[in-house]
Amino acid sequence: MIISARGLRKDFTVSRKVGRFRRERHVVSAVDGVDLTVERGELLGYIGPNGAGKSTTLKMLTGVLTPSAGEVTVCGLEPVAKRTTLARRIGVVFGQRSQLWWDLPLEDSFALLRHIYRVPEADHAARLKQCSDLLGLDEFRRTPVRQLSLGQRMRGELTAALLHGPEVLFLDEPTIGLDVLSKQAVRSFLGEVDRRGDTTVVLTTHDLADIEKLCRRLVVIDHGRVVHDGTLDELHARYRSRRTIVADLDSPWPEGLTLPGAVVTAVEADARRITLALDGMTAGEVVAALAQAVSLRDLSVQEPNIEDVVAKLYRDES
């Protein structure tokens, strides 16, 4: 167990203006009793709506914020008390902050980090080569960071966070604002980090495609509490997300027609396109029944949508 948090809380005191001079203070719990354990080598998706407490949790795990209550250890260390020791063993990327030296070429930042983290030259070179191959850094490693595009900079940030060979990598919205290609590059890179298995990754994101492609385990937090901890499939099962069949028909769908094991959820395009949600039967059985009932032109089977199920979860909790 490389990360362990029990009853983790963070309260902020907020003062609000009441009348002309008076201020009323009240306590807001950004994180309200989070229990979390992460095993070595896991890639954990940590998601939640804006203001749910994701970044606050991450700050407590990295030692830049003291918990109001609860116990937390990362790599066996108490983060705040051992922040500088822990810094050598973790890597952090905040999607909206930069840890690179703005005015210097990217490779100068990398060289500086080697000295700051006292990484042996051979290790540094090997890790840099690995990252460089996977992320295609060569074309812009001599460019000053201030001239990099967001996608290039994020590739640089990921590399910078990994050069000292951290045991845990914390990523706070690493794909925010990136174009499709950069997102894919970041995702396939993280997939590769995960496959190698020596780095534990905690990933917060609003892009659920990141989660779908990368994370076996998903922790959802809302109002400072964990509302789901498990696989994506378990989340779908909990909300009874169903696969759907979309069929284009030669003639309009006969009104009132029902099929066993499926529910009609939409009838569109002059009743020539129908959507059926599977309900207890396999896709094959439903398609066979459908083909007997009507004349089919085209057909597709769709997996349950992660956005929908997560939206349901967020709505339920609010």
Partner 1 sequence: MARVQAALVAAGFRRYATYRQATFAGAFTNTVFGFLRCYILLSVAATAGGVMAGYTGPQLASYVWLGQGLLAVVNSWTMLDLAERVRTGDVVADLLRPVDPLWTYLWTDLGRAVYAVLTRFLAPLVVGAVAFGLYVPQSLLTYPLFALSTLLAIVVCFACRYLIGLTAFWLLDIRGVMMFWVFVSGAASGLYFPLAILPDWLATVLWVATPFPSLLQAPLDVIVERGGTGHALLVCLGQVVWTVLLLLACRVAQASAVRKLVVQGG
- Using CB under 8 A, list all residues that contact partner 1: 10, 12-13, 30, 56, 59, 62-66, 80, 83-85, 87-88, 90, 92, 94, 97-99, 101, 103-104, 108, 111-112, 115-118, 144
Q: Between residues 28 and 257, which has the closer beta carbon with respect to partner 1?
A: 28
**Distance in Å, CB of 60 to partner 1, minimum:** 10
The CA distance from 9 to 53, in Å, is 10
- The SS3 of residue 152 is helix
Q: Between residues 20 and 115, which has the closer beta carbon with respect to partner 1?
A: 115
Q: Between residues 12 and 302, which has the closer beta carbon with respect to partner 1?
A: 12
Beta strands in the chain (DSSP E): 3-18, 22-38, 43-47, 69-74, 90-94, 168-172, 200-204, 217-222, 225-230, 244-249, 262-268, 273-278, 296-302
Q: Between residues 22 and 115, which has the closer beta carbon with respect to partner 1?
A: 115
Q: Between residues 45 and 53, which has the closer beta carbon with respect to partner 1?
A: 53
Q: Between residues 103 and 298, which has the closer beta carbon with respect to partner 1?
A: 103
**Distance in Å, CB of 88 to partner 1, minimum:** 5
**Distance in Å, CB of 74 to partner 1, minimum:** 12
The CA distance from 83 to 24, in Å, is 34
What distances in angstroms separate CA 87 from CA 13, 75, 90, 130, 247, one per listed residue?
28, 11, 5, 22, 55
251 burial class (0-12, 13-18, 19+ CB within 10 angstroms)?
Answer: exposed
The CA distance from 139 to 133, in Å, is 11
**Distance in Å, CB of 14 to partner 1, minimum:** 11
**Distance in Å, CB of 53 to partner 1, minimum:** 12
**Distance in Å, CB of 176 to partner 1, minimum:** 15
Residues with Cβ within 8 Å of 311's Cβ and at least 6 positions away in sequence, in order, are none
